[in-house]
Structure formats: C-alpha cells, structure tokens
Amino acid sequence: MLLVWLYNNTGQSVSAAALGHATQNVSWQLFPARGSHYDPQVTALILTLAAALVVALWGPWRLVRSRAGG
C-alpha cells in the first residue's frame, strides 16, 4: 500500500517506488532487532502504523489513480 501511495503521489514515478522498495529491503539489514537478527513483528508494526498514518493524513482516495479526462 505504501509503495502504491508513493507511486501515485510522485507523478507516477517508477523510480520513486523502486527506491522506496529498495529502502524497505535494505533497512532490516541496517537496523537489526535485539542485536543481530531481523524481527518481522517489529517491521509489520512499523509498516502498519505508517500505512495508517498515510490514510489518516491523505485519505484513501489518494491510493487510487485518477481517471484521465473524467
């Protein structure tokens, strides 16, 4: 959901969505939980909170592509 929002709100930039995806993939390696391992529960919580914040601030209508000419 966050990548769709990023894509739609950067002028449909595939590069921005790819950079967001790469950042998500690399972040778990840069910031390990409890010393040296990845904790998917923490990641799920952070991503859920980020998605809820996006919907709360910008609304669900920003997650869909607008129709051209309509």
Domain ranges of the chain: 2-63
In single-letter form, the type of residue at position 62 comes to R
- Is the whole-model pTM more than 0.85? no
Summarised one tens digit per residue, pLDDT across range 7-19 is 888 888 899 999 9
In single-letter form, the type of residue at position 7 comes to Y
The answer to whether 43 and 28 have CB atoms below 8 angstroms apart is: yes
Q: What is the pLDDT of residue 34?
A: 57
Q: What is the pLDDT of residue 6?
A: 85
Encode 44-68: b = buried (16+ Cβ within 10 Å), e = exposed: eeeeeeeeeebeeeeeeeebeeeee
Task: Report the alpha-carbon distance of residue 39 to residue 63 in Å, rounded.
Answer: 28
Summarised one tens digit per residue, pLDDT across range 25-41 is 887 677 665 556 667 78
